[in-house]
Amino acid sequence: MREELIKLLDKAYAPYSNFHVACIIEMMDGKYIPGVNVENASYGGAICAERNAITTAVAMGYKRGDFKKIYVMVSGDKLSTPCFICRQVITEFFDKDSEIVLMGKVGDSKTYKVSEMCPYPFDSEDL
Ligand code: THU
């Protein structure tokens, strides 16, 4: 997985921040769905790697319950956590016991449950 994420970092389109993010989602059926951040000259149009991967999976026909685990790697030297917009989208599709793996480029990694990384989510129960 680490090698795949490192290769995927190269595909990020981040000419403005130069901060590359790669995400791979492991699906319940054993498939892996990639995502990278895609920036825009209109900065607010940037799409994060996590949401890119999740929305790709949805476009492929996957539903809540099909999402198993999410891996994230950034081009910086430290591990980095998903932004809060991505956390909100993660809670929409992943079970609270699913794992979020922050993977470093050189052997370090940290794993969190969705419930730890995304406490007190706003979800369909709130509507
Ligand atoms: N970014 C992600 O891809 N995922 C996150 O969870 C945090 C931020 C991207 C967005 C932007 O292209 C760059 O990182 C700097 O914020």
Closest-CA residue, ligand 1 atom 6, reads: 82
Structure tokens that stand for 104 in this block:
């470093």
What distance in Å separates the CA atoms of residue 43 and residue 29, rounded to the nearest whole number?
35
Confidence of residue 107 (pLDDT cuts 50, 70, 90): confident
Which pLDDT score, from 0 to 100, does residue 1 have?
96
C-alpha 49 to ligand 1 mean position (Å): 7
Q: Express each pLDDT in 53-74 by its tens digit.
A: 999 999 999 999 999 999 999 9
Strands (E), the chain: 21-27, 32-36, 67-74, 99-103, 109-113
C-alpha 4 to ligand 1 mean position (Å): 19
Closest-CA residue, ligand 1 atom 13, reads: 19
Domains of the chain in sequence order: 2-118 (3.40.140.10)
What distance in Å separates the CA atoms of residue 20 and residue 75, rounded to the nearest whole number?
5
Surface-to-core class of residue 106, CB atoms within 10 Å of its CB (0-12 exposed, 13-18 middle, 19+ buried): exposed
92 is catalytic: no
